[in-house]
């Protein structure tokens, strides 16, 4: 199931499924909304975007009320998350899945929003999108790459090769096609053991993280392996892993992934095209892609918007 592409003058809904927008970050919110307006879009904030009913965020029911309302509103053509956080999974049981199916729309976010991207795709078949949020993606230093990738995906419904934002490196050779699933590693694994956990059959996995250690990667990758994820996958992509790369750690996420999946013959590519505090492409969760690790190619094979 795919949504409609954006056009100038479309209304886009803004929701906060994880952390609430606080007064300290109002400037970042406004800066991000300004970028969306530069595309000719009209942002519409959800009722609970700033709500901290629980002291740190809105209640799960309030978060879901905003999401359900945006899907139901015929004027809203896309839903973009204000930011990530740590509690987006709490609202999953309150999502109106039939409403999502009846009103397929662009749903965009990053970081903790990983849980919603994969859960929505799992429960409804709707392709969702991993990419810049309002506050941290567009609300600070937006690069030409960010703007070009947003326009190419959502206005042009572009397919074909994903433009690199920086160096790419072959970790394990090979070429494969599959369904793209993943996002933030820690947040993805919040879904393990729930009805929202993806089916990784014939998948290309992608991973990033904000601040993780080699030991943390080791534990989470083994959890994913024990859940059968790697045995059903066809390939993997590692994005920008800020803490490890800034610290210049001797052992990084891609090294741990290679070790944990030893004996499994699928390609692994290291990129800097998505993640925290870096330029971000837009990746279609649930979309069909080609991964050619030998030639450093990531290619979107089928339209993800109409």
* Residue found by looking up tokens 């999946």 in the block: 261
Residue 4 placed within a domain: no
Contact (Cβ atoms closer than 8 angstroms) between residue 82 and residue 138: no
Of 154, 184, 202, which residue sits at a domain end? 154
User: What's residue 238's pLDDT?
Assistant: 98
Residues 6+ apart with CB under 8 A from 126: 1, 2, 3, 100, 101, 104, 107, 120, 286
In whole angstroms, what is the distance from residue 49 CA to residue 165 CA? Answer: 31
CATH number of 17's domain: 3.40.50.10740
User: What's residue 198's pLDDT?
Assistant: 98
The per-residue pLDDT for range 107-150, each reduced to its tens digit, is 999 999 999 999 999 999 999 999 999 999 999 989 999 999 99
User: What's residue 96's pLDDT?
Assistant: 98
Whether 19 and 149 share a structural domain:
yes
Residue 1 placed within a domain: no
Q: For residue 175, give both structure tokens.
A: 């070429």
> Is 14 in a helix, a strand, or coil?
strand
Whether 121 and 43 share a structural domain:
yes
pLDDT beneath 50, residues of the chain: none
Whether 271 and 143 share a structural domain:
no
Phi, psi dihedrals of residue 233, rounded to the nearest 5°: -85, 160
Whether 82 and 211 share a structural domain:
no
Whether 68 and 189 share a structural domain:
no
In whole angstroms, what is the distance from residue 36 CA to residue 132 CA? Answer: 11
Whether 213 and 292 share a structural domain:
yes
User: Residue 169 to residues 45, 50, 56, 273, 297: CA-CA distances in angstroms?
Assistant: 40, 41, 39, 12, 10
The per-residue pLDDT for range 5-40, each reduced to its tens digit, is 999 999 999 999 999 999 999 999 999 999 999 999
Residue 3 placed within a domain: no
Of 113, 132, 154, which residue sits at a domain end? 154
Residue 103 placed within a domain: yes
User: Residue 229 to residues 22, 109, 131, 240: CA-CA distances in angstroms?
Assistant: 37, 23, 23, 21
CATH number of 248's domain: 3.50.30.60
Nearest one of 123, 126, 125, 54 to 90, comparing CA atoms: 54
Whether 178 and 218 share a structural domain:
yes
Of 131, 154, 177, which residue sits at a domain end? 154
User: What's residue 24's pLDDT?
Assistant: 94
In whole angstroms, what is the distance from residue 298 CA to residue 180 CA? Answer: 11
How many angstroms from the chain centroid is the CA of residue 240? 13
> Is 228 in a helix, a strand, or coil?
coil
Q: For residue 144, give both structure tokens.
A: 């030409």
Q: Which domain holds residue 223?
A: 161-300
Give the total number of structural domains in the chain: 2
């Amino acid at each position: 199931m795919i949504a409609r592409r954006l056009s100038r003058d479309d209304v886009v809904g803004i929701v906060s499924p994880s952390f609430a927008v606080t007064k300290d970050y109002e400037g970042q919110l406004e800066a991000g909304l300004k970028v969306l307006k530069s595309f000719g879009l009209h942002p519409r904030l959800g009722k609970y975007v700033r709500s901290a009913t629980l002291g740190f965020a809105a209640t799960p029911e309030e978060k879901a009320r905003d999401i359900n309302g945006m899907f139901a509103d015929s004027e809203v053509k896309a839903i973009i998350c204000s930011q990530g956080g740590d509690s987006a999974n709490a609202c999953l049981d309150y999502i109106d899945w039939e409403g999502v199916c009846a009103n397929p729309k662009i749903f965009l976010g990053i970081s903790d929003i990983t849980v919603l991207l994969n859960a929505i795709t799992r429960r409804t078949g709707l392709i969702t999108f991993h990419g810049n949020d309002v506050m941290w993606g567009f609300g600070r230093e937006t690069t030409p790459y960010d703007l070009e990738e947003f326009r190419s995906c959502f206005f042009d419904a572009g397919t074909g090769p994903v433009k690199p934002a920086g160096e790419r490196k072959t970790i394990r050779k090979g070429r494969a096609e599959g369904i793209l699933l993943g996002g933030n590693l820690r947040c993805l694994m919040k879904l393990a053991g729930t009805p929202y956990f993806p089916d990784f059959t014939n998948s290309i996995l992608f991973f990033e993280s904000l601040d993780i250690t080699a030991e943390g990667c080791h534990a989470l990758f083994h959890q994913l392996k024990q859940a059968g994820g790697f045995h059903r996958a066809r390939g993997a992509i590692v994005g920008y892993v800020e803490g490890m790369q800034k610290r210049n750690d001797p052992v990084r996420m891609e090294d741990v992934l290679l070790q944990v999946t030893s004996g499994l013959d699928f390609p692994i590519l290291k990129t800097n095209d998505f993640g925290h505090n870096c330029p971000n492409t837009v990746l279609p969760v649930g979309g069909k892609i080609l991964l050619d690790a030998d030639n450093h190619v990531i290619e979107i094979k089928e339209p993800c918007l109409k």
